[in-house]
Amino acid sequence: MTISHTASPVSAPILSITPVDGLIDVPRRIVVSGLMPDELVALSARTQRTGGAFWDSQATFMADAQGIVDLTRDAPVGGDYAEISAMGLLWSQHPSDATGLEVFADDVMQPLTTSLTVETADGRRAEGELAQRFAVPGVARREIREEGLVGTLFTPTGPGPYPVVMVLNGSGGGINEARGALYASHGYQAFALGYFKVPGLSPYITETPLEYCETGLHWARRELRPRNDFVAVSGQSRGGELALLLGATFPDLVSAVIAYVPGAMVHGAQGAGDPARGGWQGATWTKGGVALPHLWQNNSAVHWHPWAGDAPPDRHHSVFFEGLKDRPLADRARIPVEQIAGPVLLISGRDDRAWPSSLYSRMVVSALHRQKHPYLVRHLDFDDAGHSINLPFVPTTQLSRAHPVSKVPFTTGGTVSGNAKADLGSWHGVLAFLHEITGR
């Protein structure tokens, strides 16, 4: 499909994008034709994201003998990425300034729009746009403020009932609406539940009661009437730790666990902790008003943490390896995953520098196998991927950033290309896992 061209029909390059509009997880075919054989051409992409910030990328290509550049076939000869990738111009984008670092839009019901520009050395140009959606037409969004819960419900198009996925964010807090909307676009009713750092709840993760999430699980079963009574919990990072913990604590309420870059231990509040209640070493989760034992609770092997005021190391996950040396405490802090009564999917990056999610995921798999877990257990472990495994075709260039709560800089790990591959592979793996266990 020809999007536009701005010079004469004979000499102008022609830019085509297929499809122009689609879900964010749909790859696009981007082709430039009408070039001279072996001509160099620059392609740039600009996307407006949260708060009006722009994200940009650029790559230079050499046309083939027919005067064509096809991003599904051709690697750039220079620019922001260096491999064959149909969507490289999207995942290699960098923020234009430091004021807007979020990769999603303010309103997930609206598409992200990317402007593409083609420019030759002699100034011939072509321009076009593509739209990436989180929600297909017909997906409904509803804010939930009931029984003390703070969340957002996304309901698919078409007749129900639907399997339900509860979506939990990580140590940045808030509500993961983007993932919730995309789950709903694939036929799952998604309840994106905030548990801190949202209006009406604590600004910190410290002493979060598991009963709050238990209320959310009961609410989902009662109010959403899920297909075959299926309610999965999907969480990222601290949310992945929480997803495993909920599955182990409330096995009758959790049908399956999807844990992105999770912890296998209960950890202290760390970078999302309340400075007035123990900070890094404060308790994260409580049950019955009692704090759960955690890895930083008088740990005999650790006398420092990576955010203690000094410059944080690139691989501050080393403190977690030190923490595991206190074996009695590690045993007490271990999440009893063998109590989970359903399938488990674990997703990790082998170069995770925030904490060792690959090791933690292997520990979970090993514990389940030792106990002859009767349900599906799957571990997707990605080379050259770090802690920030996200949705497909979003920028993966923020390998270091300030923590959203503590504002202390930390390194997530992985490479830009490796994280992009993990984004796509993990999402395909999640959909395949859910399809396999729900039959959708």
In tens, the pLDDT along 153-201 reads: 999 998 889 999 999 999 899 999 999 999 999 999 999 999 999 999 9
Cα–Cα dist 131/39, whole Å: 28
pLDDT at 9 over 50: no
| pLDDT given at position 277 | 93
**Residues forming beta bridges with residue 411, ordered by sequence position:** 400
Cα–Cα dist 167/181, whole Å: 10
Give the residue carrying structure tokens 């598409």: 111
- Give the pLDDT band (50/70/90) at residue 305: low
- Candidates 104, 115, 145; CA nearest to 44 is 115
Cα dihedral 64, 69, 72, 73 in deg (nearest 10): 10
- Candidates 354, 344, 431; CA nearest to 385 is 354
Lowest mean pLDDT of 51-60, 61-70, 289-298, 345-354, name the range: 51-60
CATH class of 140-438: alpha beta
| pLDDT given at position 315 | 55
Question: Are 218 and 226 in contact, with CB atoms under 8 Å apart?
Answer: no
pLDDT at 7 over 50: no
Domain 14-133 is found in CATH 1.10.260.40 = no
pLDDT digits (tens, 9 = 90+) for 310-339: 555 555 668 888 899 999 999 999 999 999
The set of catalytic residues is 237, 352, 387
| pLDDT given at position 213 | 98
Give 15-69 as a DSSP string: EEEESSEEETTS--EEEEESPPTT-EEEEEEEEE-GGG-EEEEEEEEE--TTS-E
Q: What is the mean pLDDT of residues 194-218?
A: 97
Question: Are 389 and 419 in contact, with CB atoms under 8 Å apart?
Answer: yes
Cα 229 to Cα 164, 223, 253: the distances in Å are: 8, 11, 9
Q: How high is the mean pLDDT of the chain?
A: 92
- Structural tokens at position 86: 């149909």
| pLDDT given at position 101 | 61
For the chain, which residues make up each domain, given as ranges?
14-133, 140-438
Lowest mean pLDDT of 77-91, 207-221, 365-379, 397-411, name the range: 397-411
The percent of residues above 90 in pLDDT, for the chain, comes to: 82
| pLDDT given at position 98 | 61
pLDDT at 24 over 50: yes
- Candidates 52, 38, 57, 160; CA nearest to 99 is 52
- Give the pLDDT band (50/70/90) at residue 123: very high
pLDDT digits (tens, 9 = 90+) for 180-190: 999 999 999 99
The percent of residues above 70 in pLDDT, for the chain, comes to: 94
